[in-house]
Amino acid sequence: MPPPGYPAGPGQGNAQAGSGFQQALIWAALGAAAAWVLSDPEVRDKLIKQAMKLYGELVVGIEEMKEKVSDMKAEVDAGFTRNSAG
């Protein structure tokens, strides 16, 4: 970009306009790729199975984390009870 007060050279005009067009092209390409992939039933079924597997693993991980937090909380409470009684 030229210093203030100097005219913009070739290719140094409004960079935002080109950026918006590039983003539109990227989104259009992503949409076309998604439509192409999802139009194949076999690929779509594999993606759905993988998504369900990932979701199941995520739920199990969250439940394990909740259990660990509950265990830690019980240990802290037991420690406070022991310290205040003694």
User: Per-residue confidence at 78, pLDDT binned at 50, 70, 90?
Assistant: confident
Structure token pair of residue 32: 């076309």
* Residue 43 one-letter amino acid: V
User: Per-residue confidence at 73, pLDDT binned at 50, 70, 90?
Assistant: very high
Structure token pair of residue 42: 């076999």
User: Per-residue confidence at 2, pLDDT binned at 50, 70, 90?
Assistant: low
Task: Give backbone dihedrals phi and psi of 28, rounded to 5 degrees, phi first.
Answer: -65, -40
Structure token pair of residue 56: 């199941």
Determine the pLDDT at residue 79. 82
Cα separation, 31 vs 64, whole angstroms: 37
- Going from N- to C-terminal start, the domains of the chain cover 15-85
Determine the pLDDT at residue 80. 75
**With contact defined as beta carbons under 8 Å apart, do 2 and 9 qualify?**
yes
Tens digits of per-residue pLDDT, 8-65? 655 555 555 568 899 999 999 999 998 988 899 998 899 999 999 999 999 999 999 9
